[in-house]
Amino acid sequence: MKKILFFALIALCVATAFADDKNPGKKPPRPRSARPAKPIVMPPSLKPGDKIAIISPASTPSADNPEKAAETLRAWGFVPVIGSHALDSYHGYAGTIAQRCADLNWALYDPEIKAIVCTRGGYGSSMLLGPMRRDDFAKNPKWIVGYSDITALHSAMVTSGVMSLHANMGGALGSRGKDDPVNQMLLNVLTGTLPAYEVPAHPLNVAGKAEGIVIGGNMAVFTNISGSGQWDFLDRSQIMSRDVILFFEDVSESIPRVNSMLQALRLKGVLNHVKGIIVGRFTEYESRDGYNDMNEMLNETLGGLGIPVCYDFPASHDEEWNYPMIEGCKAELIVTTDGVSLTFVNENEETATE
């Protein structure tokens, strides 16, 4: 019996080799992780007269937040429409999950709404991802604007194949007004101008050049989503199928807590696959454990990755230093001893049209 199996195996190998000789141009199947990633769609640019929804997917905003944000949007020539539950309150959230989902679905599916501005972050956006589907975000591509806890919605958008906008939201739009330089940066993106940023050098920067889609946001939020499957834009299969530039920032998180989140990303393999890292500003924390600041701690891990890294980039909870970052959009990051440049590029041939 062993002899029979031995000669049968030899015959199979010969037959396979002969078949390959007859098809010399035949390529082996592509590994699943190496398949080209689907393009990520850029939402259409806005024009004067377009309607913009103002909703609260997370915590309840201050009573004057939606209307003050609406004033700025009107001054820019848009028509703001405030969601029915924007000021609701349920245990600190802006309504129940069902109420907040109702406003989000209205804003996503109403064809007259061309963009969505969130009032504030806080907590609760990830709760909405349970009832939502990828089609809800993908069928009618439009910008979702916000930061902090809204990172959960940015992750949902990018994994659904649509770019999203990490930028100032209702509070900053209302308090800083239409002429604020950072708010003007947001207006430029909404109306079709992709940003190109130049920022000063930082002594801990690691020089180099990287290209890839920009993803990230609030560090605590996207590390909490990590492992959630369909909504995790740092899932191993995602970052292995495309080049990625990761950015992150946070507020009121201790150095040990941020270090724990960083090591979670390292153990998951994320840091081994990204092409470049942009460290935004960490605010409202105390130096401790012998570290002078957060960047010193981060550099112990990031400095040895062999990829370009920049620190103190103006993406943060500080509304004066929160440059718009287009999640899912290709960008070029150049870090030198003289400074840092980040240039966004729309190479998507399947950009959404109205």
pLDDT of residue 17: 42
Does residue 327 have an active-site annotation? no
- CA pair distance 225, 184, nearest whole angstrom: 31
Among 194, 217, 236, identify where a domain stops. Answer: 194
Report the 10 Å Cβ neighbour count for 306. 8
Q: Is 24 helix (H, G, I), strand (E, B) or coil?
A: coil
Residue 119, in any domain of the structure: yes
Both 337 and 223 in one domain: the answer is yes
Q: Which residues pair with 54 in a beta bridge?
A: 82, 117
Contact 172, 322 (CB under 8 A): yes
| Paired tokens of 75 | 């001054």
Residue 22, in any domain of the structure: no
Both 138 and 250 in one domain: the answer is no
Among 177, 194, 211, identify where a domain stops. Answer: 194
Residue 27, in any domain of the structure: no
Q: Is 163 helix (H, G, I), strand (E, B) or coil?
A: coil
Does residue 148 have an active-site annotation? yes
Phi/psi for 46 (5° steps) reads -90, 155
| Paired tokens of 161 | 């194949």
pLDDT of residue 216: 96
Q: Which of 249, 253, 273, 316 is catalytic?
A: 249
pLDDT of residue 36: 58
- CA pair distance 189, 78, nearest whole angstrom: 14
Q: Which residues pair with 334 in a beta bridge?
A: 209, 341
Torsion of CA 105, 108, 113, 119, to 10 degrees: 70
Contacts of 94 (CB under 8 A, 6+ apart): 56, 57, 58, 59, 60, 61, 85, 86, 87, 88, 100, 119, 124
Contacts of 24 (CB under 8 A, 6+ apart): none
- CA pair distance 114, 44, nearest whole angstrom: 8
Residue 334, in any domain of the structure: yes
Query: How far, CA to CA in Å, does 64 sit from each of 41, 60, 77, 116?
Result: 34, 11, 20, 18
Contacts of 322 (CB under 8 A, 6+ apart): 147, 167, 168, 172, 182, 314, 315, 316
Both 148 and 206 in one domain: the answer is no
Q: How many CA atoms lie within 13 A of 208 on its CB side?
A: 17
Does residue 317 have an active-site annotation? yes
The total domain count for the chain is 2
Both 258 and 183 in one domain: the answer is no
Q: Which of 56, 125, 148, 160 is catalytic?
A: 148
Both 231 and 141 in one domain: the answer is no
**Residues 223, 224, 225, 226: is their CA dihedral positive or negative?**
positive
pLDDT under 70: residue ranges of the chain? 1-36, 348-354
Both 202 and 340 in one domain: the answer is yes
Domain that holds residue 205: 197-345
- CA pair distance 207, 334, nearest whole angstrom: 8
pLDDT of residue 348: 61
pTM to 2 decimal places: 0.87
Among 194, 224, 253, identify where a domain stops. Answer: 194
